[in-house]
Amino acid sequence: MRYLLRRVGHALFLLAGVSMLAFLFTSLAPGTYFDEMRLNPQIAPETVAALRAQYGVDKPLPVRYLSWLSSALHGEMGFSFAYNSSVAPLLLVRARNTLVLTITSTLLAWAIALPLGIWSAERLGRLPDRLLSWGTAILLVIPDLALALGLLVFAVRTGWFPTGGMASVDFETLSPLNRLRDLASHMILPVMALVFSSLPLLIRHVRAAVADVLNAPFLLAAVGHGIPRRTLLYRYALPAAANPLISLFGFSIGVLLSGSLLIEVVMSWPGLGPLLLESILARDLYVVIGGVLFSTLFLVGGNFLADLLLYWADPRIRTESGTR
């Protein structure tokens, strides 16, 4: 119990610290959104200055942070100059789009990596394992940038897949089944890119964790007892390997929001990544802080979830914390 409470407090501390850091960074920015208006020959500088004062960009830093913090605790995360709307709804929509993509690809990647990793660990050092190692090595050394660009070229050349965006023009008019198909067709390429980029590391980690356990003395003893392979694997090896795997899974959850930035930008998927990039370039302070905070929330939440799962799954942790 105390362990859990400590973890919660820990998480809150992280969030507060991150928000302060993020806010600090964004305040280093010179130039504001209103400068775009100056490039319009029709508007005089006095109008711009008046609007600047109206939006409160001129107030001192701590005042701005505190006002933002108080509204954040009410669920309002500030105001976006560029989109002329509240930050929270903006973030929520984009985060939802990102999650659709990343949840699908994370599940897919794990569904592929687990069996492959286990299979490879069982045949450690032999030919199939070596082939898989080389395969993942090749995939690993191709930067995800090259992967994303390559898939985009493929889409353009063949015309089989839509080359960007999340939905077609007449999405609203389609039946629910067709809507699902439309969404799926738009998702194929980004999901492929995400899966390809995360798969090699996942496979390696799974393989390492399982291989580790397979070498443990207690497993050898179990083999000596004549326990069949299947049971060995599922009831003895995997639970022991669960520890690092759960941490890894927690990490996978943690990067659900932030890990796909590059791919979203390259493939024009309307997620959190492109919003963040745009806001950074546009010096839209509150969106940037909100976005960083959101994804940190996920990271911290993912780790917390992993801690919970570990607590439940690994008796060593329960006993260790009990002795504190």
Q: What are phi and psi of 85, to 5 degrees?
A: -150, 170
The residues in 145-204 that bind another protein, with binding defined as CB under 8 A, are: 145-146, 149-150, 152-153, 156, 159, 162-172
| Residue number, 69 or 227, with CB nearest to another protein | 69
Could you say which DSSP state residue 172 is in?
Answer: G
Alpha carbon distance 153, 141 (integer Å):
20
The end-to-end CA distance of the chain, in Å, is 12
Site string for another protein, 89-128 (x = CB under 8 A): x---xx--x-------------------------------
Kindly tell me which residue out of 237, 262, 263, 287 binds another protein, with binding defined by CB under 8 A: 262
| Residue number, 118 or 211, with CB nearest to another protein | 211
Least Å from the CB of residue 228 to another protein? 28
| Residue number, 50 or 220, with CB nearest to another protein | 50
User: Any idea how long the chain is?
Assistant: 324
The residues in 271-310 that bind another protein, with binding defined as CB under 8 A, are: 274, 276-277, 280-283, 288, 291-292, 295-296, 299-300, 303, 306-307, 310
| Residue number, 76 or 314, with CB nearest to another protein | 314
Alpha carbon distance 310, 299 (integer Å):
16
Least Å from the CB of residue 237 to another protein? 15
Q: Are the beta carbons of 191 and 97 closer than 8 angstroms?
A: no
The residues in 51-90 that bind another protein, with binding defined as CB under 8 A, are: 51, 54, 82-85, 89
Alpha carbon distance 204, 198 (integer Å):
10
Which secondary-structure segment (H or E) carries 80?
strand 79-80
Q: Does 242 bind another protein (CB under 8 A)?
A: no
Residue 128: CB atoms within 10 Å:
12
| Residue number, 41 or 62, with CB nearest to another protein | 41
Where do we find the tokens 């993912």?
302
